[in-house]
Amino acid sequence: MHTDEREVELSDGARVGYGDLVLAPGMEEDLDAVPGLAGAMTAGWSLTAHLESQAPAVWDAVEGMSRGRVVFTLPPEPSPCGGTALKPLFLACDEWRRRGVLNDLDVHLVTPFTGVLGLPFVDDRLEAQLGELGVSVHRESTVASVDHRQRTVTVDGPTPTVLDAVDRAFVVPPYRGQGWLAPLAREEASGQIDVDPETMAHRSAPRVWSLGDAAALDTRPSGGALRRQVEVLADNIARSRLGQPLRCYDGYTIVPVTLDRRRLLLAEFDRTGTQAPTTRLVDLSVPRRALWLFDRYVEPLLYFRALLRGRLVP
Ligand SMILES: Cc1cc2nc3c(=O)[nH]c(=O)nc-3n(C[C@H](O)[C@H](O)[C@H](O)COP(=O)(O)OP(=O)(O)OC[C@H]3O[C@@H](n4cnc5c(N)ncnc54)[C@H](O)[C@@H]3O)c2cc1C
């Protein structure tokens, strides 16, 4: 990046000039932030559906378990839609319940939030579901380290705990901004790009903008959040060229939570954590069969056949 000259440098050394520059390279997982995690993943004892390379093995592991202790986690923020990491837990428990082995499994969830997602308008429902499944919840907690040889997961939080005799640790790694963007990043925001969270303009580099997971937007990153961000950012680039006041992004984001093989809920909220529903016709934060069917069968078609091909504007 050569922001003083308004140029970006490509991997072959060529430089390309820009009028405005929009950075959206996502985040990268930070395995080193949890001692032991990289080794535990290599050994296959720790797996996460949040990494594409491990996702198929997660379900194989779930199908292979019928007793023992298992740990699931929600990652600390920022993370790419970290709340969706509840899906493997709920689907696993659903599978174990169907096979009649759930009572033989000691299931734990480590969450960095109060409640479950730290969102009062859905946490009661999620707590009820976790209670029904017999899941032990470690709130306001993170995984400090794992040791696949000792089969331990060390949990940091109000009640520091070492979970031993763990048979499987489904640990989602922490995430951080891409290292090559460090000069434009904010360390306190886990290396995300240092933009004004409302206007998405970089705080010190003129005509540089950022959105998506890469940007320090003071909200929980998600693909759904991009729907709003793209609209505001595109408008703001045009407005800044015309010298007009910039629009504000309210931090709208979304966490879809699959509760079992039949029901899904959508938690839509702004950066204050206040519910921010797209529609008032139906409360999407209530678990629904129709939402599950939409997510399972309709959304992939919309996404791959329409959105990615530019046939549908989000
Ligand atoms: C398991 C999982 C489930 C999820 N489920 C949901 C969900 O149900 N709903 C939801 O809304 N969100 C969900 N998300 C989050 C969603 O996928 C992300 O928030 C979204 O993809 C972020 O988009 P982005 O464009 O900011 O970053 P990315 O999707 O990460 O895209 C960044 C792109 O930049 C490219 N790039 C990186 N570095 C460079 C470089 N130096 N040069 C050129 N290109 C580069 C990358 O190759 C990549 O293509 C999920 C995420 C995960 C991991």
Domain spans, the chain: 20-250
Whether residue 64 has pLDDT greater than 90: yes
Question: Which ligand 1 atom is nearest residue 253's CA?
Answer: 11
| pLDDT computed for residue 95 by the predictor | 97
What does the pLDDT average to over 81-91? 97
Q: How far is the CA of 209 from the centre of ligand 1 (A)?
A: 17
Q: What is the pLDDT of residues 117-165, one digit of tens each?
A: 999 999 999 999 999 999 999 999 999 999 999 999 999 999 999 999 9
| % of the chain at pLDDT higher than 70 | 99
Q: In testing the pocket of ligand 1, which one of 90, 222, 264 has its CB within 8 Å of the most ligand atoms?
A: 222
Residue 177 beta carbon below 6 angstroms from any ligand 1 atom? no
| pLDDT computed for residue 312 by the predictor | 67
Tell me the pLDDT band of 305, cut-offs 50, 70 and 90: confident
Q: How far is the CA of 251 from the centre of ligand 1 (A)?
A: 17
Q: Are 257 and 90 in contact (CB under 8 A)?
A: yes
Q: Outline where 12-157 has alpha helix (H).
A: 37-42, 55-64, 86-98, 120-133
Tell me the pLDDT band of 66, cut-offs 50, 70 and 90: very high
Mean pLDDT across the chain: 95
What does the pLDDT average to over 263-290? 95
Element (H, E) at 15: strand 15-17
| pLDDT computed for residue 314 by the predictor | 57
Residue with tokens 């609209």: 231
| pLDDT computed for residue 75 by the predictor | 98
Q: How far is the CA of 299 from the centre of ligand 1 (A)?
A: 17
Pairwise CA distance, residues 231 & 249, whole Å: 9
Tell me the pLDDT band of 24, cut-offs 50, 70 and 90: very high
Whether residue 182 has pLDDT greater than 60: yes
**Structural class in CATH, domain 20-250:** alpha beta
| pLDDT computed for residue 225 by the predictor | 96
Tell me the pLDDT band of 220, cut-offs 50, 70 and 90: very high
Q: Which residues pair with 163 in a beta bridge?
A: 153
| pLDDT computed for residue 313 by the predictor | 62
Residue nearest to atom 26 of ligand 1 (CA): 212
Q: How far is the CA of 212 from the centre of ligand 1 (A)?
A: 8
Q: What is the pTM of this model?
A: 0.94
Question: Which ligand 1 atom is nearest residue 213's CA?
Answer: 26
Question: Which ligand 1 atom is nearest residue 215's CA?
Answer: 26
